[in-house]
Amino acid sequence: MKRIEVVAAVIRREDRIFATQRGYGAYKDWWEFPGGKIEPGEAPREALRREIREELDADIRIDRFLQTVEWDYPEFHLTMHCFWCSLEADAMHLNEHEAARWLGADELSEVRWLPADEGLLPLIAAELRYGPIDFVLPWVDGGDPVLSARRAKYASGDTLTNEEVGGTTRYASVGEIRWCVASILRFAPFARKVFIVTDGQDPDLGAMLREHFPERVDDVVVVDHRVIFRGREEFLPTFNSNSIDTLIWNIPELAERFVYTNDDVMLMRPAQVEDFFRGDEPVCYAERLSAAFVRQLRTLNPRHVGYKVSMLRALEMMGGGDHIIRLGHAPCAMYKSWFRRWAEERPDMVENNLRDKFRTVAQFEVQEAFYVDMERRGRLCLLSDREHAFVFKRRPVARYVEKKIRVFRADKTRKFVCFNSLNLCTADEIALVTAWLDELIFPATRK
């Protein structure tokens, strides 16, 4: 089948986008986004600027990549690279189209779109309604000898042997960051930026991005601890996820709506904005759990730095309640403005989480504090993590990983998967997981 490669501009002005009506050909009177064919030797962005000048007598600013659409028309296969754009000046003239309209999110369905263009509408409508959405993930390469030496310098007692505090498994990495970032770019095309927060380390994703996501290379940004701890440098270095999470909102240019996740959590199927935000409610994948029960756990083992106990600590610091929101192994949708306001109003809570370089029983999960407050305000969409997320946790069972992969393949509903301590798997099991993830996240390029 003949292949045609084109570019398209989704030109935005405030909360509306520019649509044009074709005046020629088999799809005359249908609506599309302006753009056209890429000439031999032309880069997509260069071609887009040229096409808009030819079609609209206008200069555009290309703000960011949106998505590449693959579509089979009866006579040819279309590859359409689409970009969010804005006008350098308001004046435009229709040189090829017979009509044009500025459309809001609720007006997109009022015109008859070309099939390939129509596939973009859910992404466009979500952006117009919610604004940009970023993903944020803290990351550490525990195998870095420099970092290991620094960690040992500040550790005391059994810190380095306690896996809940500073043990090797807590910082171990077998390359999950590569799959995590790629899964976001592949299955969450609405993501504007992916911020990786780390301590002077390089996740070395350049080659992967250039090969599989060449238009998104600049959208993956590494942020050093010194940036988010600006003004609080006395608390560095830190090896404490609770401390880092407490200031994660301090990333420069972070969107108001962002999704926090970990490098061992991957998106495994296409996601929509509504998987994370619904109206003014963040989506939380969790279960309610009795606070009294967790207090009993804490009483039985008061020195245990556990996940549930740190959520209970957050509940108590937020005024108490009869249940915690037991967060699952899934991404967490959040609001930057909440954390900024919270940091101003509750400096005691911020100080509580920053002062220790390793996790302690006195600290709390900041995500829990956020969701506790959202639930009290009646602004929380709580969904079962058991129904939406899948967890791999190494078990000494024959063919455990193989069976887990088979179960996930059969379950068509769950979109997230967490590999809890993948480093504890055997070499053969890691190879099996690697092949499966590569198959899902890096599909063969269409010929």
Q: What are phi and psi of 341, to 5 degrees?
A: -65, -45
Residue whose structure tokens are 């263009």: 117
pLDDT exceeds 80 at position 305: no
Query: Is the model's pTM score more than 0.85?
Result: yes
- Going from the C-alpha of 408 to that of each of 254, 327, 401, 421, the distances in angstroms are 33, 21, 11, 18
Q: Are the C-beta atoms of 221 and 196 separated by less than 8 Å?
A: yes
Burial per residue of 53-90, b for 16 or more beta-carbon CB atoms within 10 angstroms, e otherwise? eebbebebebeebbbbbeeeeeeeebbbbbbbbebeee
- Paired with 223 in beta bridges are 197
The mean of the pLDDT values for the chain is 92
Percent of the chain, pLDDT > 90? 76
Interval 106-151: pLDDT, tens: 999 999 999 999 999 999 999 999 999 999 999 998 788 888 888 8
Instruction: List domains and CATH numbers for the chain.
Output: 2-129 (3.90.79.10), 131-441 (3.90.550.10)
